Amino acid sequence: MHKNSLILSALTVLAAVPAVAATPDTARHQAQIDQIVQEISPARIEGYINKLVGFRTRHTMSDTVSETEGIGAARRWIKSELERCGASQGGRLQVAFDSHIAPVSARISRPTEIVNVVATLPGTQPASVDRMYVVSGHYDSRNTDIMDAKGDAPGANDDASGTAAVMEMACVMAKYKFDATLVFMTVAAEEQGLLGAAHWAEQAKQKNLNIAGMFTNDIIGSSRDEHGKVDNTQVRLFAEGLPVQKENSDAVRTLIQTGGENDSLSRQLARAVKEAGERYVPKFKVNVIQRRDRYLRGGDHMPFLERGYAALRFTEPAEDFNHQHQNIRTEKGVLIGDLPQYDDFNYIAQVARVNAAALSSLSLAPAAPAKVQVRTAKLQNDTELVWQANAEPDLAGYRIVWRDTSSAEWQGSQFVGKATEFTLPLSKDNYYFGVQAIDNDGNTSPASYPTPLR
Ligand SMILES: [Zn+2]
């Protein structure tokens, strides 16, 4: 009731503003994204997972010489599979190893080559090709003893599920065109301390790459909780608020000063992912959890967060810890271990569809507007927003969104055409605002949070 009245009263007031071009339809389905979502195949995902499990162990320090067992065989197979698929889908997918030697550390007993398999689909719009979205899963696995590089460690859920989802997305999406660049990454040494992802994220930072968003898929394999209850209608999306830093950056201090704890880059990205995921995958909820990760746990989004990038983690709704990080064994008649019979391939496909819809939507949309500011030089009850113009040739204009300070999701919106400033008859003290960029097809960027302009 309150929600509706906010939108209605705001729109009523806003009817007096100068007319702008018709609002693009931001709720429509893009045919290309519907097709991608449809093509994601549970059967192919099952095939990828069974093949990965067949390498017996994918422990980061396991055998690299054998053609049939260990992490070396696994990564060569992933690479060749992505190459084969890329070639059959138009030849635009660029597949490469990203390798480095990790020195001895708490979970690395001898210098070890850590190899990520990275498949890049270059963007096709010059104004957007430098903007990148990264999606990952980790292909290494582990046993109860983190240093056990020999025992069977199937890792069917943790994280063959995420690896298979990323391979399936790469393969399906490779034949389509997106404005921005997509990076499909399967990484190693997650279990040994997020080493593969950290190496790639550090290179990205040093090269000053524009990573506009990153998602890791880690433990997305099962819809069944430890009591046997099935919930295949949702996925958790972990989204950090304020980054954990010894000293706050200026950007973080500004967020704190203006009450923007829930408007970090990752939270804005999570809102966009939830919107696109739920639009294209019906009856499936993206449950945004407003924290970095589960207690006692971490994932490959963290090295990206630590370098200032927006990054999120997808994980199944209720984990069964008997099926993670456990030697295969039977206890009191119960089979323990991370085995493929505990995976739900239809469920994994649903999570892959949410990822693919969000990646497609973000990489077809313009960049989030830059230098969004709210004028605060004088005391007034209106909200004056200004921002920098976007460069994309297919830009339709900008949309201002707002919500109550106690709400997590946008409640009201106003399309303003190609203006680069706008005054709303709503108090900046009482609402949170954001500015989005929208293209002619209705593809919408994440919102940018305004910083104060004095
Ligand atoms: Zn994992």
The pTM of the full predicted model, rounded to 2 decimals, is 0.94
pLDDT of residue 18: 52
- C-alpha 380 to ligand 1 mean position (Å): 50
Gap between the Cα atoms of 137 and 162, Å rounded: 4
- C-alpha 229 to ligand 1 mean position (Å): 22
Gap between the Cα atoms of 277 and 365, Å rounded: 15
pLDDT of residue 337: 95
- C-alpha 298 to ligand 1 mean position (Å): 8
Gap between the Cα atoms of 356 and 271, Å rounded: 15
- C-alpha 239 to ligand 1 mean position (Å): 17
- C-alpha 151 to ligand 1 mean position (Å): 18
pLDDT of residue 5: 40
pLDDT of residue 244: 83
Copy the structure tokens of residue 34: 């519907």
- C-alpha 198 to ligand 1 mean position (Å): 14
Gap between the Cα atoms of 433 and 168, Å rounded: 37
- C-alpha 221 to ligand 1 mean position (Å): 11
- C-alpha 217 to ligand 1 mean position (Å): 8
Residues with Cβ < 8 Å from 142, sequence gap 6 or more? 59, 148, 153, 155, 158, 191, 325
Gap between the Cα atoms of 266 and 389, Å rounded: 22
- C-alpha 434 to ligand 1 mean position (Å): 34
Per-residue pLDDT of the chain (454 residues; tens, 9 = 90+): 344 444 544 444 454 455 566 789 999 999 999 999 999 999 999 999 999 999 999 999 999 999 999 999 999 999 999 999 999 999 999 999 999 999 999 999 999 999 999 999 999 999 999 999 999 999 999 999 999 999 999 999 999 999 999 999 999 999 999 999 999 999 999 999 999 999 999 999 999 999 999 999 999 999 999 999 999 999 999 999 998 888 888 989 999 999 999 999 999 999 999 999 999 999 999 999 999 999 999 999 999 999 999 999 999 999 999 999 999 999 999 999 999 999 999 999 999 999 999 999 999 999 999 999 999 998 999 999 999 999 999 999 999 999 999 999 999 999 999 999 999 999 999 999 999 999 999 999 999 999 999 8
pLDDT of residue 243: 87
- C-alpha 13 to ligand 1 mean position (Å): 50
- C-alpha 279 to ligand 1 mean position (Å): 28
- C-alpha 51 to ligand 1 mean position (Å): 18
Query: Are 396 and 26 spatial neighbours (Cβ–Cβ below 8 Å)?
Result: no
pLDDT of residue 206: 98
- C-alpha 190 to ligand 1 mean position (Å): 7
